[in-house]
Amino acid sequence: MIAALLLAAIAPIAGQAQQFKIATLAPDGSSWMERMREAADEVRARTDGAVRIRFYPGGVMGDADTLMRRIRLGQLHGGTFTLFELSSIAPEANLYSLPFEFRNAQELAQLREEFDPVILAALREGGMVAPAIANGGFAYLFSELRIAGTDDVSSALKVWVQEDDPMSLRVLKEVGASPVVMSIAEVYTGLQTGAINTFASTLSGAIILQWHTRAQYMLDLPVLVTAGTIALDRKAFERLDPAHREIWLEVFGEALRAQQRQAKAENAEARQALIEEGIEIVDPDPADVRAWERISDRVVDEMTASGEFPVPGLQRLRARLRETRAEDEGAGR
């Protein structure tokens, strides 16, 4: 009798669904949101309704810093972030956010099997659980002014820099440009008013945001990797049944990988669309590219040594890059 009463008392608790509140800047109806909702539906089905997800799209919950504060307060359980936005809790995330570190997509692909787990483990240690990392493609420089080499870089080049990005700010100053700090929401207005005339974006992103309408040239040089993920507060995640944790990681991990494949296709299509829109794609001078790489490396070294911009694992990453480049050169690639 007592056992039956105890079972009756705990049954409603065990049967209660756990709802995660997740916010994102992605607008409702976007391919990203469609994929995330499909993943949420699959998780709900495979957990028999025990794990449910409510999304807050379109930035209604604020920017990345605001989302992190809401997560700490328990108002949200997670969000979608770029790796750069997560570097405050896991500085290892900066490994993929350094300017001019990777020369092409092949270099990045060769190192991801080794370094994705490093970043994901650091995020978990910092209190956030992410199932995988989605590479959104490289950001390139777009401008109203033609840039082909160092002679084209001057203070007339007013380049957008995201808030809280001291590395890009310093590198741009060192190469002789004029960095202008503003939020992503201010970029289009800044381009219209002339407050900025140059910005870095993925190819598809420039079109989606309509920033390309304010540019005439694109420098065909990968500046930095854009990568992101969906992340849950670790404490909330660990309240799940262990089997449900594995389901969540599996389903959303595949959703991120699918989104990465789509981003690759969209960037390829966007390149052709930009050409058709009249954007001139400019090949950089190889000697000048190496000069920019040296400047960037020096700035990174100075800022990491001072502790201003920590990047744990940087020397290991660079060593592996040297190895892969030597192997590629030996193979004649």
- As a whole number, mean pLDDT of residues 17-45 equals 93
Confidence of residue 328 (pLDDT cuts 50, 70, 90): confident
Q: Of the given ranges (26-30, 135-139, 147-151), which has the lowest mean pLDDT?
A: 26-30
pLDDT digits (tens, 9 = 90+) for 248-289: 999 999 999 999 999 999 999 999 999 999 999 999 999 999
For the chain, report the end-to-end CA distance as a whole number of angstroms: 76
Q: Record the tokens describing residue 74, joined without a space.
A: 């328990």
The mean pLDDT of the chain is: 92
Full-model pTM: 0.89
Confidence of residue 33 (pLDDT cuts 50, 70, 90): very high
Residue 184: per-residue pLDDT: 87
Residue 332: per-residue pLDDT: 65
Phi-psi region of 57 (alpha: psi -120 to 50; beta: other; left: phi over 0): beta
The answer on pLDDT for 15 being more than 70 is: no
H or E stretch covering 235: helix 234-238
Confidence of residue 101 (pLDDT cuts 50, 70, 90): very high
pLDDT digits (tens, 9 = 90+) for 73-82: 999 999 999 9
The answer on pLDDT for 11 being more than 80 is: no
Residue 232: per-residue pLDDT: 98
Give the whole-angstrom CA distance, residue 47 versus residue 33.
21
The answer on pLDDT for 20 being more than 80 is: yes
Residue 106: per-residue pLDDT: 93
Contact between 160 and 170 under an 8 Å Cβ cutoff? The reply is no
Residue 16: per-residue pLDDT: 66
- What single string gives the DSSP state of each residue in 259-286? HHHHHHHHHHHHHHHHHHTTPEEEPPPH
- As a whole number, mean pLDDT of residues 161-182 equals 94
Percent of the chain at pLDDT exceeding 70: 95
Note the helical H segments in 77-137: 105-125
Long-range contacts of 37-44 (CB under 8 A, 24+ apart): 38/255, 39/251, 39/252, 39/254, 39/255, 42/251, 43/247, 43/248, 43/251, 43/252
Confidence of residue 327 (pLDDT cuts 50, 70, 90): confident
Give the whole-angstrom CA distance, residue 23 versus residue 59.
7
Which 3 state secondary structure label does DSSP give 218?
A: strand
- As a whole number, mean pLDDT of residues 284-296 equals 94
Parallel, antiparallel, or unpaired for β 198-201 and 134-143? antiparallel
